[in-house]
Amino acid sequence: MWKDLGMDLEKHDEFLAPVPEVYGKLFMAQENRPKGMGYFDFVVGDIHGIRVKELVDHKANGGKVVASFCVFVPDEIITAAGGVSIGLCAGAQFPVPTGEQVLPRNLCPLIKSSVGFKLDRICPYFQVADFVVGETTCDGKKKAWEILDEFIPTHVMELPQRRAEADKALWMEEIRRFKEKMEKESGVAITAQKLAASIKIANEKRAALQRLYNCRKADPAPISGKDVLLISELAFFDDPKRFTQQVNALCDELETRIVRGEGIAEKGAPRILITGSPMPIPSWKLHAIIEGSGAVVVCEETCTGTRYFETTVREDGATLDEQLAAISERALNINCACYTPNNGRIEDILRLVKEYNADGVVYYNLAFCQPYSIEYRKVEKALQEAGIPVIKIESDFSEEDTGQLQTRIEAFLEMLDK
Amino acid sequence: MIYAGIDVGSVAAKAVILSNGKILSRVIQPTGWSPGEAGKAVFEAALAEAKITRQDVTRIVGTGYGRVALDFLDRAVTEITCHALGANYFFPANNLVIDIGGQDSKAILINKDGKVLNFIMNDKCAAGTGRFIQVIAMTLGLELDRLKELPPAKPATINSMCTVFAESEVVSLLTQNVPKERIVSGLYRSIARRTAAMAASLGSVRGVTFTGGVARIPGMQEALSDALGCPVNVPDNPQIIGALGAAILAKND
Ligand code: SF4
Ligand code: SF4
């Protein structure tokens, strides 16, 4: 199977070699960890095994595998055409130097990592994918797709940057164009019935994640931020139905923990909300530092957090047109920094700080990620006015700055005076 | 009751013994290759100087990057919290602390009790730190301690804040026969401007306390006061402020 996928096995093994140790230290060693994490540990432990095999089999049965990197890409349409949607990870330092062979160095590490994964041929999900769906959410991605297309066919959806009528019409057209693309690639006609079913699947997954996040509102938090981040990351490529079921099973356990007042951290431990750039698997650094310093991460206002599941697709569309319109609406309700203006994000952060009872906000900025770094000024001002402490952390996927970040985070926690 | 604070930085280890709010002793030693050993040694030296024993000390707080290497502490706290408290001890009216250490520089906004309200630190690189000055001093063929003796001079222009590029800029100034004192004062000015820009994002300043090893250099004090547009206060021994803050924290705990 590996040969057929065209993998560079030597490099692949080199890339994965440190994972078990890191994973053991960060995740398995946590005290009083919920049992329901077992499934997710299994998925990570076998990250390049069973799920890849499922995809290979899916393709052998004539199905399509479609890769993407953003919460705006509509899974629903992929599923309705009998395809499998894979949100690829791009949170590792390992492939970054390779990415830099075709991309400028002063570019967001997420983009360099993702392109590097393809060039290095170390990601089986990338290798098994029929094509990639990119979006024009930032200039870096927009231009990188042109380069990625040299290595794997890349379909680009143009996301508008405002939310006026003309922008809505543009995105609606892009959704329609993507539906046609999917139908052509798969040879399957997307019907209202199929789309209704796939909308339901996606919404149920979102609902399960919302339920999981609701559990984190309790004090003591019944689950660590690291574990929830991991689950959010896995949400992008696990089988959606199985994943939903497992998240719900975990929530059953967490809800009884809450009743019993059981937690992963001590009651009264400082509660942190993270906001900013996405944290694709395996970028666990910031969570590890925060939780290693005695605080607990209770919410992520990121694409690997609330932005992924808080907005759902209306299920009342009867015709295909109404359903596509509902799907298109969803994207425009997500408060990503690629939009201008984007005041909704500030409202979201203020609301989430209240809902999750956060003591402070860590603003995470991937190096060279302009939309989030520029938006900081407004977010900082709003938080300061509301009397909520905030710190901006700019970093990438490397480990070089761990010591520095440790000092900053600790000093921030000391400042919270809990 | 007697309290101790130990600050193990990248260049020097410092210890302060505090009794009834008075400094009994303070000692500074080079960190060397072992932060753990240096922390222990400086603590023992401070005990000896205060003519007390380990048993007389109620609580010990450690800080600085080497704090994790000290196994005899009651508590480890970041330099940011400690510098704030230490600076506040000497100049309670000031609300901004600028600390330039061997590896990093920070601006800390504090309240009247020395509690941190906000802070900002330099990034990964050495720009604007003691290390930066050291590299340039080496290029100029000067010992770090001799820098202080150079007469004030009109600053030469140094554009780059990157250690590597600034070094080559300095070399080219030397080949143009620009006097060393002018290069050095240009260096101070560029560090001061960068630091002031960093501090500006923290809000309005009532008064500034300048701490850390670099604060001992008079030319640097002047340049910083120029760049900030207000006077800066330098405690008697700016290097021990972190250790002092740690000792104060030991008492407050
Ligand atoms: S997305 Fe990451 S973890 Fe997943 S297969 Fe690719 S490289 Fe491995
Ligand atoms: S993190 Fe920022 S720069 Fe990177 S892809 Fe996302 S929006 Fe673009």
Interface of B with A in 75-94 (CB under 8 A): 77-81
- Ligand 2 centroid, distance to A128 Cα (angstroms): 24
B111 in contact with A, Cβ within 8 Å: no
Is residue A356 within 6 Å of ligand 1 at its C-beta? no
d(CA A293, CA A311): 32
For B247, the domain range is 1-91+237-252
Q: Are residues B198 and B131 in the same domain?
A: yes
- Cβ contacts of residue A251 below 8 Å, gap of 6+? A36, A208, A211, A212, A215
Helix (H) or strand (E) holding A84: strand A84-87
Report the C-alpha gap between A374 and A372 in whole angstroms.
Answer: 5
Of A49, A91, A54, the C-alpha closest to A69 is: A91
CATH number at residue B215: 3.30.420.40
Residues B173 and B81 in one domain: no
Cβ within 8 Å, pair A414-B124: no
Distance CA B191, CA B5 (A): 29
Which of A111, A340, A370, A375 has most ligand 2 atoms within 8 Å of its beta carbon, as the pocket-test mutant?
A111
Is the CB–ligand 1 distance for residue A236 below 6 Å?
Answer: no
Taking an 8 Å cut-off on Cβ atoms, the answer to whether A394 and B119 are in contact is no
Give the pLDDT confidence score for residue A7 in this predicted structure. 92
Q: What is residue B156's DSSP assignment?
A: P
CB contact under 8 A, B119 and A415: yes
Ligand showing the shortest atom-to-Cα distance for residue A237: 1
Within 10 A of A165 (CB to CB), how many other CB atoms are there? 8
Amino acid at A172: M
Q: Inspect the interface and report whether the beta carbons of A415 and B79 lie closer than 8 Å.
A: no
- Pair B104, B125 in one domain: yes
Across chain B, where does the E strand assignment appear?
2-8, 12-19, 22-30, 57-63, 75-76, 96-100, 105-110, 116-121, 208-211, 232-233
Q: Number of structural domains, chain B?
A: 2
Tokens 């949170």, residue?
A: A91
**Residues B63 and B6 sit within 8 Å (Cβ to Cβ):** yes
Chain A residues whose C-beta sits inside 8 Å of any chain B C-beta:
389, 394, 400-401, 403-404, 407-408, 410-411, 414-415, 417
Strands B2-8 and B12-19: antiparallel
Q: Which ligand 1 atom is the nearest neighbour of the CA of A122?
A: 7
B130, amino acid identity: G
Distance (Å, whole) CA A96 – CA A368: 14
Q: ipTM of the predicted structure?
A: 0.82
Min CA distance, B36 vs chain A (Å)?
17
Q: Residue ranges of chain B with pLDDT lower than 50? A: none
Residue A210 CA, distance from chain mean position: 14
Q: Is A11 exposed, middle or buried (0-12, 13-18, 19+ CB in 10 A)?
A: middle
Residue nearest to atom 7 of ligand 2 (CA): A138
* Å between A54 CA and nearest CA of chain B: 43
What is the distance between the alpha carbons of residues A27 and A21, in angstroms, rounded to a whole number?
10
Determine which residue's CA is closest to atom 8 belonging to ligand 2: A138
**Across the strands, what pairs with B96?**
B109, B208
Tell which of A392, A394, A395, A415 to mutate to test the B interface (max B CBs under 10 Å): A415
Tell me the H-state helices in B66-204: 79-90, 130-139, 163-175, 180-200
Using an 8 Å Cβ cutoff, are A310 and A333 in contact?
no
Q: Provide the pLDDT for residue A213.
A: 98
Count of CB pairs separated by less than 8 Å, A with B: 36
Task: Please indicate whether, in this complex, the C-beta atoms of B115 and A417 are within 8 angstroms of each other.
Answer: yes
Whether B115 and B84 share a structural domain: no
Question: Could you give the dihedral angle defined by the CA atoms of residues A12, A15, A16 and A19, in that order, rounded to the nearest 10 degrees?
Answer: -170
Question: Do residues B232 and B208 lie in contact, with contact meaning Cβ atoms separated by under 8 Å?
Answer: yes
- Same structural domain, B225 and B108: yes
Residues B34, B105: one domain?
A: no
Q: Are residues B98 and B189 in the same domain?
A: yes
Q: How far is B109 from chain A (nearest CA, A)?
A: 11
Using the CB atoms, write b or e for A320-338: b if 16+ within 10 Å: beebbbbbbbbbbebbbbb
DSSP element (H, E) containing A166: helix A165-186
Residues in A touching B66 (Cβ below 8 Å): none
- SS3 of residue B252 by DSSP: helix
Assess contact for A108 and A366: CB atoms under 8 A.
Answer: yes
- Over residues B196-240, the pLDDT tens digits come to 988 888 888 889 999 988 898 899 999 999 999 988 999 999 999
Q: What pLDDT is stored for residue B124 in this prediction? A: 58
Residues in chain B: 253
CA angle B2, B6, B11 (to 5 degrees): 155
- Whole-number Å distance, alpha carbon A140 to ligand 1 midpoint, is 21
Residues of A with CB below 8 A from B124's CB?
Answer: 400-401, 404
Residue A272 in tokens: 């942190």
What does the DSSP 8-state code read for residue B57? E
Ligand 2 center from residue A390 Cα (angstroms): 21
Mark yes or no for CB contact B65/A407 under 8 Å: yes
Chain A contact present for B129, CB below 8 A? no
Q: Are B161 and B191 members of one domain?
A: yes
pLDDT number for residue B138: 84
Low-confidence ranges of chain A (pLDDT < 50): none
Q: Is B128 left (phi over 0), alpha (psi -120 to 50) or beta?
A: left
CA–centroid distance, A17 to ligand 1, in Å, is 13
Quote the pLDDT of residue A226.
Answer: 98
Report the pLDDT value the prediction gives residue B125, as an integer from 0 to 100: 67
Partner residue opposite A411 with nearest CB, options B65, B81, B123: B81
Whether B43 and B164 share a structural domain? no
Question: Which of chain B's residues have a Cβ under 8 Å away from the Cβ of A400?
Answer: 124
What distance in Å separates residue B201's CA from the closest CA in chain A?
Answer: 10
Residues B102 and B145 in one domain: yes
Q: B36-55 pLDDT, tens per residue?
A: 999 999 999 999 999 999 99
Considering the domain architecture, whether residues B117 and B68 belong to the same structural domain is answered as: no
Q: Which two tokens stand for residue A208?
A: 């399960």
Q: How distant is the Cα of A416 from the closest Cα of chain B, in angstroms?
A: 9
Based on the domain organization, do B242 and B230 belong to the same domain? no
Distance from Cα A102 to the centre of ligand 2, integer Å: 17
